[in-house]
Amino acid sequence: TPQSHLAGWTLRRAGFQQRYGVTVMAIYHHGKALRERLAEVPLRIGDLLLVRGPEERVQALRSDPDLAVIGEHRPPVHRERRGLYTVAFFAAALIGGGLGWLPLSIAFLLAALATVLLRCISIERAYEFIDWRLLILIAGMTAFGTAMEKTGAAALLGHWVVVGLSPMGAMAVVTGFIVLTILLTQPMSNAAAALVVLPIAMSAARELGLNERTFAIAIMLAASVSFIAPFEPSCILVYGPGKYRFLDYVKTGLGLTLILAVVVVLLIPVFWPLR
Residues 184-205 have pLDDT tens digits of: 887 777 777 787 788 888 878 8
User: Using the 8-state DSSP alphabet, how is residue 166 labeled?
Assistant: G
Q: pLDDT higher for 133 or 96? A: 96
Q: Is 138 helix (H, G, I), strand (E, B) or coil?
A: helix
For 56-77, the pLDDT digits (tens) are 888 888 888 888 888 887 766 6
Q: What is the pLDDT of residue 105?
A: 82
The pLDDT of 18-43, averaged and rounded, is 88
**What's the pTM value of the predicted model, to 2 decimals?**
0.50
Name which of 211-215, 221-225, 235-239 the model is least confident about.
235-239
CB atoms within 10 A of CB 108: 17
CB atoms within 10 A of CB 187: 20
State how far the Cα of 83 lies from the Cα of 170, in Å rounded to an integer.
Answer: 56
The pLDDT of 155-168, averaged and rounded, is 75
Q: What is the pLDDT of residue 263?
A: 92
Q: pLDDT higher for 151 or 268? A: 268
Cβ burial 22-38 (10 Å sphere, 16+ → b, else e): bebeebebeeeeeeeeb
User: Using the 8-state DSSP alphabet, how is residue 37 labeled?
Assistant: S
